[in-house]
Chain A
């Protein structure tokens, strides 16, 4: 499945990036562009909706770190609904320390700014 990424910005300053398909080196820049866009809009939270993301390579993992660095330490990054294999990749490589993982979108937690 081809990679796709979209950004939605809520009125309360939450940036929601929906990822689908396979995130590898050939498309990682698309994801990074959306992160930069969210940062330029001064997002207070970054939510990565990953239900339909099937694969994440090391380039994808780097995009997560890039997001953390770009958004700043004060902006929490939520990874929502990541498939088991993707979550496992994030954990095995230690990148789970940089994000908050949620099984599903929890508005109480995410939108309580």
Chain B
């Protein structure tokens, strides 16, 4: 049965219209036309602006209030297409593939000049992007210089959102079973050595799925893929002449649209094709057992501070979308100029609807929230005890099975690792894991106690709040900071290429260069670096919690000591795939360690250990050891840790696994470790010994050789040994 309201009632300069539907916000394809709906509490006037795709000037501008013609008689008639604070209008007979749209808005306030503070920034001379645009044009081919004189830079487009998912749905892999692989879409395949047809795109990641499968990860976390402007604050390095860009994209232009420049189909200027390309990637990843997580940036937008451009939000309803001081300056808890007003109910709903859209329409498996502590601040910046946005996300029905991960700090000094409002759902990037493991790895003394917590999923941070090990996303490296190779090759950051006199990027790297700063020809230095990388990966993969690897770390990828490569679209950032051959030894090691973790549920506990035997195996779930079995050394001068996991306690005693023993000797010399005895029928086998040359450094799970001396293992200096009792 056809609807009875799909006929025009009004005409404006030949365009057929009718009063629109207020919900959903954005542009929606409806029978015979397109429904446009946009909120503004403070605008008194709104105009819909339509363009032929790519045109310099508008095709038509249709006011939401004014004189129209009656559709049936052509007689003049006054009309206003608004319900509450929502301007809404349906326009008929539009070719959804060939138009772009935007809005002009005005309000009863005096104009605020650029650079001046102000509560309202209406400027009807500007064409505004729809905050709910599902596709955005203007930067559809990565790196193509924009026309700076364009009257409309980021152009809202329409998307036909059907897709043949072929039965796909999010994988819902238990969080404790994930191994996350963090990647930048462009960096992953842009290097010529990637050998893909469309370098730097969603389509190219699809070509690399066999590689991801071989490595063994089961989740990729994509650095921001919401539409952003790579030319935001772009500049030329004064010394090198390099064009420095907003390469990472932590500055959102539109929350509902995938970055068109990341799509091989971007050049088609067809937003639906871009969506299809990304959905196809997600579908293929799911077919291969790999989840997709998005790094989402809701703490600020690309509109900057008082001097920033009017793209969308600030021209629509500045005081609703942004946190403002009483004088009308932008609060800057994000460190990037402005702060999205996330606990305003309107903005909160937008964030919620956005995530629902990505979960439902793109089958996204989870989200990592950049500077998530901001999402817990009230409109004036004070931390809320019970932040409504975080609660709403945790209890949302559509997001009910999505992973929610917080970067639990912000640039305004709010640090919530261990205390982020979790509602039984939220996990955290565990910055303390990163710092403690780095310090232990480089041989700092007195870390045994801290390491015992980090290896167990940081119960010191999470158990008090009834949060299990999965609250802890364990990582040693991520996009922010050194790569793993640089962590063992540089004592200090080398960010000169960023053009900020090496003042940017963190100074608390806890790194050690193994005796020489930067590339070395000394075989001993390089051997030690390789061993340290293996040590790090081994520690990560035997830690309870959820491990995350930075893409390329399995190949010893370097950024030449740059710990903040946010602006480089160059070989500095691109993953060099020739390293797959030159560092095959490390790749093999990482692959084995991931496979070992996947093979042993005892490493993937959902609940914290209890330090007791609750299944009658004769062993506690976890026991701590030192150079003497059963005698852990927690002293302040110690640089080693050893522990054993009882396989009969795997997954809370519901699964039977092997026993696992790990000895970590970060002292520079060898140390003999006496081994805890196993039940009579079991023997220790060697899975990893980073002190041994490749290929004896690791074994494929299941093929581990029997240990000759079952009572003792001499662990080399700065080495990790992993034994499996079976």
Question: B residues within 8 A CB of A76?
Answer: none
Alpha-carbon distance A58/B160, docked complex (angstroms)? 8
Residue ID in chain B nearest A66 by CB atoms: B164
Alpha-carbon distance A26/B95, docked complex (angstroms)? 7
Alpha-carbon distance A92/B283, docked complex (angstroms)? 13
Q: Are A25 and B96 in contact (CB-based, < 8 A)? A: yes
Alpha-carbon distance A57/B159, docked complex (angstroms)? 12
Instruction: Say yes or no: is A51 at the interface (Cβ < 8 Å to chain B).
Output: no
Q: Are B97 and A57 in contact (CB-based, < 8 A)? A: yes
Chain B stretch 567-598: residues in CB contact (< 8 A) with chain A: none
- List 17 A–B pairs whose Cβ atoms lie within 8 Å, in order of A's numbering: A24-B97, A24-B98, A25-B97, A57-B268, A57-B270, A58-B160, A59-B97, A65-B164, A68-B164, A69-B164, A89-B273, A92-B198, A92-B265, A93-B276, A94-B276, A94-B280, A94-B284
Chain A stretch 8-57: residues in CB contact (< 8 A) with chain B: 24-26, 57
Residue ID in chain A nearest B284 by CB atoms: A94
Q: Are A93 and B277 in contact (CB-based, < 8 A)? A: yes
Residue ID in chain B nearest A94 by CB atoms: B280
Q: Are A92 and B277 in contact (CB-based, < 8 A)? A: yes
Question: A residues within 8 A CB of B198?
Answer: 92
Q: Are B280 and A61 in contact (CB-based, < 8 A)? A: no
Q: Are A58 and B283 in contact (CB-based, < 8 A)? A: no
Residue ID in chain B nearest A25 by CB atoms: B97
Given contacts A89-B265, A92-B203, A58 and B95 within 8 Å (CB-CB): no
**Per-residue 0/1 for B636-680: is the Cβ within 8 Å of any A Cβ (1 yes, 0 no)?**
000000000000000000000000000000000000000000000
**Per-residue 0/1 for A46-90: is the Cβ within 8 Å of any B Cβ (1 yes, 0 no)?**
000000000001110110010011000000000000000000010
What is the distance, in angstroms, from B266's C-beta to the closest C-beta of chain A?
A: 10
Chain A stretch 92-106: residues in CB contact (< 8 A) with chain B: 92-95, 98
**Per-residue 0/1 for B347-379: is the Cβ within 8 Å of any A Cβ (1 yes, 0 no)?**
000000000000000000000000000000000
Q: Are B164 and A25 in contact (CB-based, < 8 A)? A: no
Alpha-carbon distance A91/B276, docked complex (angstroms)? 11
Alpha-carbon distance A72/B263, docked complex (angstroms)? 30
Question: B residues within 8 A CB of A68?
Answer: 164
Question: A residues within 8 A CB of B283?
Answer: 94
Alpha-carbon distance A95/B263, docked complex (angstroms)? 15
Binding site for A on B (CB under 8 A): 95-98, 160, 162, 164, 198, 203, 206, 263-265, 268, 270, 272-273, 276-277, 279-281, 283-284
What is the distance, in angstroms, from B367's C-beta to the closest C-beta of chain A?
A: 23
Alpha-carbon distance A93/B270, docked complex (angstroms)? 11
Residue ID in chain A nearest B264 by CB atoms: A92
What is the distance, in angstroms, from A1's C-beta to the closest C-beta of chain B?
A: 17
Q: Are B206 and A94 in contact (CB-based, < 8 A)? A: yes
Q: Are B273 and A93 in contact (CB-based, < 8 A)? A: yes
Given contacts A92-B198, A93-B280, A94-B276, 5 further A-B contacts (CB under 8 A): A26-B95, A58-B97, A58-B276, A93-B276, A94-B283
Given contacts A25-B95, A57-B97, A94 and B272 within 8 Å (CB-CB): no
Given contacts A25-B96, A94-B284, A61 and B206 within 8 Å (CB-CB): no
What is the distance, in angstroms, from B94's C-beta to the closest C-beta of chain A?
A: 10
Question: A residues within 8 A CB of B96?
Answer: 25
Q: Are A62 and B162 in contact (CB-based, < 8 A)? A: yes
Alpha-carbon distance A93/B273, docked complex (angstroms)? 6
Partner of B164, one of A24, A26, A89, A98: A98
Question: A residues within 8 A CB of B162?
Answer: 62
What is the distance, in angstroms, from B358's C-beta to the closest C-beta of chain A?
A: 18
Q: Are A58 and B273 in contact (CB-based, < 8 A)? A: yes
What is the distance, in angstroms, from B674's C-beta to the closest C-beta of chain A?
A: 57
Question: A residues within 8 A CB of B164?
Answer: 65, 68-69, 98
Alpha-carbon distance A86/B202, docked complex (angstroms)? 18
Question: B residues within 8 A CB of A58?
Answer: 97, 160, 270, 272-273, 276
Question: A residues within 8 A CB of B95?
Answer: 25-26
What is the distance, in angstroms, from B453's C-beta to the closest C-beta of chain A?
A: 45
Question: A residues within 8 A CB of B276?
Answer: 58, 61, 93-95
Question: A residues within 8 A CB of B97?
Answer: 24-26, 57-59
Q: Are A61 and B273 in contact (CB-based, < 8 A)? A: yes
What is the distance, in angstroms, from B550's C-beta to the closest C-beta of chain A?
A: 27
Alpha-carbon distance A93/B164, docked complex (angstroms)? 11
Q: Which 10 A-B pairs have the closest CB atoms?
A: A94-B280, A58-B272, A93-B276, A92-B264, A25-B97, A65-B164, A58-B273, A92-B265, A92-B203, A58-B270
Partner of B273, one of A25, A26, A92: A92
What is the distance, in angstroms, from A35's C-beta to the closest C-beta of chain B?
A: 15
What is the distance, in angstroms, from B2's C-beta to the closest C-beta of chain A?
A: 16
Question: A residues within 8 A CB of B268?
Answer: 57, 89
Question: B residues within 8 A CB of A69?
Answer: 164
What is the distance, in angstroms, from B287's C-beta to the closest C-beta of chain A?
A: 10
Alpha-carbon distance A65/B272, docked complex (angstroms)? 14
Question: B residues within 8 A CB of A25?
Answer: 95-97
What is the distance, in angstroms, from B100's C-beta to the closest C-beta of chain A?
A: 15
What is the distance, in angstroms, from B29's C-beta to the closest C-beta of chain A?
A: 10
Alpha-carbon distance A95/B283, docked complex (angstroms)? 12
Alpha-carbon distance A92/B284, docked complex (angstroms)? 13
Residue ID in chain B nearest A61 by CB atoms: B276
Partner of A94, one of B98, B160, B270, B277: B277
Question: B residues within 8 A CB of A26?
Answer: 95, 97
Question: B residues within 8 A CB of A89?
Answer: 265, 268, 273
Question: A residues within 8 A CB of B98?
Answer: 24
What is the distance, in angstroms, from A92's C-beta to the closest C-beta of chain B?
A: 4
Alpha-carbon distance A68/B268, docked complex (angstroms)? 24
Question: A residues within 8 A CB of B281?
Answer: 94
What is the distance, in angstroms, from B359's C-beta to the closest C-beta of chain A?
A: 20
What is the distance, in angstroms, from B361's C-beta to the closest C-beta of chain A?
A: 15
Residue ID in chain B nearest A93 by CB atoms: B276
* Residue from B198, B270, B284 having most chain A Cβ neighbours under 10 A: B270
Residue ID in chain B nearest A85 by CB atoms: B268
What is the distance, in angstroms, from A62's C-beta to the closest C-beta of chain B?
A: 7
What is the distance, in angstroms, from A88's C-beta to the closest C-beta of chain B?
A: 8
Alpha-carbon distance A30/B272, docked complex (angstroms)? 20
Alpha-carbon distance A24/B95, docked complex (angstroms)? 10
Alpha-carbon distance A95/B162, docked complex (angstroms)? 13
Alpha-carbon distance A25/B164, docked complex (angstroms)? 18
Residue ID in chain A nearest B272 by CB atoms: A58
Alpha-carbon distance A58/B284, docked complex (angstroms)? 19
Alpha-carbon distance A82/B698, docked complex (angstroms)? 49
Alpha-carbon distance A22/B538, docked complex (angstroms)? 56
Alpha-carbon distance A69/B96, docked complex (angstroms)? 24
Alpha-carbon distance A43/B81, docked complex (angstroms)? 50
Alpha-carbon distance A94/B285, docked complex (angstroms)? 12
Alpha-carbon distance A92/B321, docked complex (angstroms)? 36
What is the distance, in angstroms, from A48's C-beta to the closest C-beta of chain B?
A: 17
* Residue from A26, A62, A94, A95 having most chain B Cβ neighbours under 10 A: A94
* Residue from B160, B263, B281 having most chain A Cβ neighbours under 10 A: B160
